[in-house]
Amino acid sequence: MFHFNGFQMMFPESRPFNNSYRCYSVSMLPGNERQDVEKGGKIIMPPSALDQLTRLNVVYPMLFKLTNSKKSRITHAGVLEFVADEGKIYIPYWMMHNLLLEEGDIVQIESVSLPVATFSKFKPQSPDFLEITNQKAVLENALRNFACLTTGDLVAIKYNSKIYELCVLETKPGNAVSIIECDMNVEFDTPVGWEEPKRVPKKTEADEDAEANELLQNHYDTSTFVAFSGEGNRLDGKKKKCEKPEAPTGSRTYVRGIPDYNHPYGLIRFDRSVKPISDRTEEPKSNGNDDNDDGFKAFQGEGFSLRKSRK
């Protein structure tokens, strides 16, 4: 005597989908370029897979476990379309990199049911990710093209024409979770290659004064340069002896012709190696008997008027 369960006949239990396909990157897909597939976490399968999934009564959303048996690598993905050639599937390049697959390698695909995500933690692979103003908003927008996450995967997202890679460090409540219509908390770990900036102790006024004095001492040195120490020429071509001013002693003079490329901002220097005019000794006035003067006296002689006098 046979017993039949009417409920099981009306609603048969779903059976797992388990097939092997040759794997290719999205760039090998015939037709126009599919950037929407490359920047997400979903794959393209052949139409026969859809017919088989429908007969097996697979639970929606359709999620799959992809396995590379030769390298013992596993990841999870959703399905975007069923338009691939028979016996082939097309997946994003970052997913092929995680599975260590080459073009045309065999990959095992099995339908799975994953828990809904509640928490995930990511580790950016470059400090450039910190330049994004709102990292969580950018990640949330990018994950809309994903169906699930797997711990250990290195996912790639695109923002402002630049690709950022993030490693999935942790997912809860399991190592593989579904992120379709979920409320998930997100955290970021320290990016790879990022170094905390070193704290520079604040300088006191005494340290600033000492540094300024050191710069001044290095910028000035003792030399034979004396301002206005050359010989002059008279307009009438005659030479006149002039006493050279004595070089100041015990002072430092500026090194001419060498610019100070390390001049600190806001620092004003005063060159006090030259005495003011009021402190200089007056030169002896000429008594008119100098051999080279020839009786020359400034502003002497008769003047002429352009207008004739009426006298």
CATH class for the domain made up of 114-195 = alpha beta
Strands 18-25 and 88-91: parallel
- Return the structure tokens found at 33: 């370029």
Residues of the chain with pLDDT under 70: 1-14, 215-230, 240-258, 271-296, 308-311
**Per-residue model confidence (pLDDT) at position 263:** 75
Check residue 158 and give left, alpha or beta (phi > 0: left; psi -120 to 50: alpha). Answer: beta
Same fold yes or no, 12-113 and 114-195: no
DSSP annotation of 85: P
Residue 145 · residue 175 · CB < 8 Å: no
Residue 215 · residue 262 · CB < 8 Å: yes
- Return the structure tokens found at 27: 């760039």
**Per-residue model confidence (pLDDT) at position 206:** 73
Which of 2.40.40.50, 3.30.1490.20, 3.40.720.10, 3.20.20.70 would CATH assign to domain 12-113?
2.40.40.50
CA pair distance 68, 104, nearest whole angstrom: 12
Q: Which residue has the tokens 């599975």?
A: 99
What is the three-class DSSP state of 93?
A: helix
Contacts of 116 (CB under 8 A, 6+ apart): 177, 178, 180, 181, 182
**Per-residue model confidence (pLDDT) at position 10:** 44
Helix (H) or strand (E) run with residue 96 in it: helix 93-99
Residue 67 · residue 73 · CB < 8 Å: yes
Give backbone dihedrals phi and psi of 283, rounded to 5 degrees, phi first. Answer: -75, 145
**pTM of the entire predicted model:** 0.59
Closest CA to 215 of 251, 272, 265, 249: 265
Where do the structural domains in the chain lie, given as residue ranges?
A: 12-113, 114-195
**Per-residue model confidence (pLDDT) at position 1:** 39
Closest CA to 149 of 65, 69, 217: 65
- Return the structure tokens found at 154: 């290195």
Contacts of 85 (CB under 8 A, 6+ apart): 30, 46
- Return the structure tokens found at 194: 């990022």
- Return the structure tokens found at 187: 């955290």
CA pair distance 58, 113, nearest whole angstrom: 9
CA pair distance 150, 145, nearest whole angstrom: 15
